[in-house]
Structure 1
Amino acid sequence: MTTRDTRPGSTGGADVPDTLYGGPDDDYTPEQLAAMSRQDLDRLGARYDGVEIMHVDPGPEPGSNLERRAVRQVGTVFALAGLFAFLFVVVYVGSGWFLPDWQWDITEGGWSALFTPLLGLFMGLSLLCVGLGLVLFTKKLLPHETAVQDKHDGSHFDRVTAGATLVGGWHNSGLARRKLITRSLALMGGGVGLMLIMPLGGLIKNPNKGNPLGTTSWAEGVRLLRDDGSPIRPGDQEPGSLETVFPAVPGGNREADAATMLIRLRPEQVLENEPREGQADFSFGDYVAYSKICTHAGCPVSLYEQETSRILCPCHQSQFDVTQGAKPVFGPATRALPQLPIGVDDEGFFVARSDYIEAVGPTYWNRERI
């Protein structure tokens, strides 16, 4: 004789023509099912919904030495994640974006080279500890179960049962009684959360105020310095020579957008020189100064052919005529190199008379091409 399991459930008894055992979805409203505990759902047949438990490992015995050791390990790793996250915040705040009084000089010594690597190091260690802590918690403290489950029919009873199972999983995790882990999780969550939102501070207090794309460190009275930091006087260069110079400001010789070519023209070039409109007084004697940043793609235009009076960009072969206001005469560049107005100070050293009157570097969409 063959018998059937006709107890109520998502599948049990559903194939039997009996109104009493058509399943919980027929016997109870969705609101009634949602209000039931997991134990009530089990009594209605949730345990007969096609799940076959193959193996259960409940994990370490509560209160045992093994559990306490695992809790200490997981708590320590989570706490380290929070600690590294707070160190990231300390380094970031030290940049002066939020608290100017805390600002460290990142342009002197080795700090400039360590600032960004330290941010990456502390963020990486924090996220690594988060992952390691989750792995340890899962392997050492959560119950392990091997089960096989048939595909659900998608009934409301199944959905409610799945929700109750998730709630039961939270209780089975033991977090409610493992205070060390919950405290370390709070520390980790606060530190990691703060670490992740700190970079957004640039949207609130951006140090690049004014017109950072259209200005450089050059200004009236700023001396022109060689790469070794020495100032330059007229007569220090031979006719036809080029010297790369930087502004005499803190960190000036490290600012790529301020790199400038100081060129001493040969006598015949002086006669041929035709400055651009409004820039006739930008030169000083037979000296002219142009931006070293190519207006095509921002490459350094470091080659100068004095015989042809052309400045060459080695990246894409753009060429600029130094006797025509550094206008482009060949290649993809469409805009002249900006010219720096220069003069001399009371001590006879070259100085800038102002910043560039136009932005250096690649062309903007709405910028005039000359």
Structure 2
Amino acid sequence: MSSDVTTGQGGRPSREELDAMSPEELARLAGDLDDVEVVHNTPQYPIEGTRAEKRAERSVALWFAISALSGLAFVVAFIAWPWEYVNVGEPGHEIYSLYTPVVGLTFGLSILALGIAVVQAVKKLFPAEVSVQQRHDGPSDDVDRRTILAQLADTGQKTTLGRRKLIQRTAGLAAGVLGIGTGVIALGGIIRDPWAAGEDAPLWHTGWRPENGETVYLRSDTGIVGEIARVRPEDMEPGSMMTVFPFRESERGNEEELLHAQRASDAPVMLIRLRPGTEVTPRPGQENFNYGDFYAWSKVCTHLGCPTSLYQAQDNRILCPCHQSQFLATEDAEPVFGPAARPLPQLPIRVNEEGYFVAESDFVEPVGPAFWERPKTT
């Protein structure tokens, strides 16, 4: 079949003529039909097997291999690296703090190396070609579709990647491992489900949960770990606020347990004493969570977890200094300003026969930001 079978030079070929053409002729016809003129096309390595060609091939394969190894490291780190929160100063905090950097670096390096490998392959192995094409409007017909496939196949052969098994294997390995890594990210909630333990899942309860029938006291921080300052009603003036932490008698004298109770991210609670006569609208079902004018709310902002450290007695507003969320203490700590969309969880408290504040139970809802993985509560 002559290469002059193009539009304007003998008409477009029929299906029978297309079937009779070789792949090279189809590829050449594709260029003619698209008004593509190849001005320059020179292979990078006209002579196969030279040292320069092998160096280029090994360089591309090396980057594909780095991408594959980095992707594999990401998968292993994502699954096996300790990821549950560990407080500063506790055993395992250093290895936990490296989880995010390790996952980010390995995944990022895998993508970066894959991109470098592709760029290297194009620059070092593809033929140097300069083409000029005229633009045309309208849909493609059967001839265009048949010839473009042949042209792509011909281009693939000219890149010489078809005979470079080392690059093919490393590229396939890199793409496969990166694909697995992407799948692991998508399935991360199944691999590491923080709710897998059901009612005992760590996001459902805090250090305020009574265990083994032991009383949980409200304890203020004096700055001395071993000093236990349990809170009484007379310790606070009307319109004041105090930060308290859980304490059990079994922890007395055990600095490690006392530090853990203070440093747990969901432990801080703000104990507020409203002014006498302040009208309060409690949340339905939580009418008995307070003790007189004393109310206890989680100090962890429901927006992004910052500490709600400020209390304005003049208007009974609880403020988060990070993003200016405000919660109204007289309306069950409902958010009234800022980005927070969820009220602060309330801790049910009472005063025991010794005259100390104690927690009657844990929070009845999750503490902290309303992230997407948090189950919907009613």
If the length of structure 1 is used for normalisation, what is the TM-score? 0.70
For 2:40, the equivalent position in structure 1 comes to 55
Tell me the equivalent position of 2:210.
220
- Flag the 1:9–1:300 CA change in 2: closer, same or farther, 3 A: same
* Residue 128 (structure 1) aligned with residue 135 (structure 2): no
What is the distance in 2 between the residues matched to 1:42 and 1:272?
Answer: 86
- Residue 41 of structure 2 aligns to a residue whose secondary structure is strand
Measured after TM superposition, the shift of residue 202 of structure 1 is 3.1
- Kept after mapping to 2: 8 A contact 1:328/1:335: yes
Partner of 1:357 in structure 2?
Answer: 364
1:312 matched to 2:286? The reply is no
Give 1:122 deviation, angstroms.
1.1
Deviation at 1:194, TM superposition (A): 1.1
Unaligned runs of 5+ in 2: 87-91, 248-256
Moved more, 76-85 or 151-160: 151-160
Residues 145, 347 of structure 1: alpha-carbon distance in 2 compared, 3 angstrom cutoff: farther
Q: CA deviation at 1:252?
A: 6.4
User: Residue type matched to 1:38 in 2?
Assistant: P
2:71, 2:110 within 8 Å by CA — same for their partners in 1? yes
Q: Distance in 1 between matches of 2:119 and 2:153?
A: 21
Question: 1:54-78 CA deviation, whole Å, 9 max, x = no partner?
Answer: 2122012310000010011111111
Matched-pair contact (CA < 8 Å) for 1:213–1:359: no
CA distance in 2, matches of 1:7, 1:69: 37
Matched, 1:23 2:29: no
* Residues 280 and 141 of structure 1, relative CA distance in 2, 3 Å threshold: closer
Counterpart for residue 122 of structure 2:
138
Amino acid in structure 2 at the alignment position of 1:220: P
Alignment of 1:262 with 2:274, yes or no, is no
Which structure 1 residue ranges, 5 or more long, are not aligned?
1-5, 14-20, 96-102
Q: Judge conservation of contact 1:226–1:244 (CA < 8 Å) in 2.
A: yes
- Does the C-alpha gap of structure 1 residues 196 and 35 become closer, same or farther in structure 2, counting only changes over 3 Å? farther
Secondary structure of the structure 2 residue equivalent to 1:354: coil
Q: Take 2:4 and 2:209, find their aligned partners in 1: how far apart are those partners?
A: 86
1:54 & 1:330 partners in 2: Cα distance? 69
- Compute the TM-score of the two structures, normalised by the length of structure 2: 0.69
Q: Given the alignment of the two structures, is residue 9 of structure 1 paired with residue 5 of structure 2, yes or no?
A: yes
Q: Distance between the aligned counterparts of 1:55 and 1:86, measured in 2?
A: 41
Is the 2:68–2:110 contact (alpha carbons within 8 Å) kept by the matching residues of 1? yes
Q: In the alignment, does 2:186 pair up with 1:207?
A: no
Superposed, which structure 2 residues align to 1:263-278 within 5 Å?
263=272, 265=273, 269=276, 276=282
Summarize the Cα distance change of 1:166–1:346 in structure 2 as closer, same or farther, 3 Å threshold: farther
SS in 2 for 1:54: strand
- State the alpha-carbon separation in 1 of the partners of residues 155 and 354 from structure 2: 80
Aligned position for 1:157: 143
Query: Which residue number in structure 2 is paired with residue 290 of structure 1?
Result: 297
The residue type equivalent to 1:245 in the other structure is V
Percent sequence identity is: 36
2:66 counterpart of 1:80: yes
Retained in 1: the 8 A contact 2:220–2:229?
Answer: yes
Asked if structure 2 preserves the Cα contact closer than 8 Å seen for 1:53 and 1:147, the reply is: yes
Total equivalences in the alignment: 336
Specify whether residues 289 and 22 from structure 1 end up closer, same or farther in structure 2 by C-alpha distance, changes over 3 A only.
closer
Contact 1:8 1:22 in 2 (8 A): no
Separation (CA, whole Å) in 2 of partners of 1:213 and 1:52: 67
Tell me what 1:233 maps to. 230
Partners of 2:70 and 2:348 lie apart in 1 by 49
Question: What letter matches 1:192 in structure 2?
Answer: L
The answer to whether the 8 Å contact 2:161/2:167 transfers is yes
Note the aligned Cα RMSD (angstroms).
Answer: 4.6
Q: Which amino acid aligns with 1:9?
A: V
SS at match of 1:70: helix
